[in-house]
Structure 1
């Protein structure tokens, strides 16, 4: 073998070594990516609990009877009636109902003192760029009973449902003394300013539920119950 042939032969292994190295690197990258995908697939989903007791409103489950409820969920036969509608306090689907929409029974049949306080608060809130939406207000006993039945089906028992929905006999919605306010920024505004109008959040697990407490103008809102099961009115 002459010197030229020897020199040419000595240069051949380099490309082969480079190709082998690239192949090994490719296998390592593929293995790393596969491991990441397997870890991601096996990671548990993160869930949040609706039972937070914080006094500051946080995004919460949709209130029973909220306007975002579909027609098929609320316009179902109830005891003694063929259907539920606006005359029962159902808020029209997809409607942005205001506290000034008195022609809608869910608003117009609220207790006069509560409605007057809500309208004063809503007027001042609009100056801050906040607009109140009534997700649920006054309800007929039939509507309340339907919501309770749905809650029992969803949560599995009467006891569990009682944390979210009262009976027709004890509900402040049926008497016109409660309103569910949305969206979140409106409920947050009321959490900070509502006492000046006598409007108070009553249950820590329901950041949307407000009732009139006239003494709050002077003394501040009373301590919230963790949920309706702690409210003595629910034990009547």
Structure 2
């Protein structure tokens, strides 16, 4: 959990505690990533998906990754991500991309207003066009 935004970490802790009451266990499968590791993931995605354009649907560049900024986490197992999808707004935790059911970011305004509409995938997110 090193290098994560402290507010994100606190929201995750609160959500995980409440999820445990529902017999759901959270795992942060991926939190903060170094730029070098993010670039490695992107190279692997290009190899897997056959092009940078297709890889961008799944893996951001180090310059745009919210994992590198410490502002995103990937949650597992699937039942934990499903629990967070249903209850996350109460903690300000929102799924950002429809194609990444495991990827969550902190949106404090969601506590009062609900999570924003999801992007289909990262290529639709204007923050990725830096």
TM-score over 0.5 (shorter chain) = yes
Q: Distance in 1 between matches of 2:82 and 2:47?
A: 30
Cα deviation for residue 134 of structure 1 reads 1.1
Could you tell me which runs of 5 or more consecutive residues in structure 2 were left unpaired when the two chains were aligned. none
Paired residue for 1:167?
Answer: 61
Quick check: 1:190 aligned with 2:84? Answer: yes
Aligned pairs for 1:25-174 (under 5 A) are 107-174=1-68
TM-score by structure 2 length?
0.99
TM-score by structure 1 length?
0.55
Alignment deviations for residues 206-236 of structure 1 (CA, whole Å, 9 cap, x no partner): 0000000000000000000000000001000
Paired residue for 2:94?
Answer: 200
Paired residue for 1:226?
Answer: 120
Larger RCO (CA within 8 A; separation ≥ 6):
2
Cα deviation for residue 108 of structure 1 reads 2.0
SS at match of 1:123: helix
Paired residue for 1:93?
Answer: none
Q: Distance in 2 between matches of 1:235 and 1:146?
A: 20
Pick the structure with greater CA Rg: 1
Paired residue for 1:35?
Answer: none
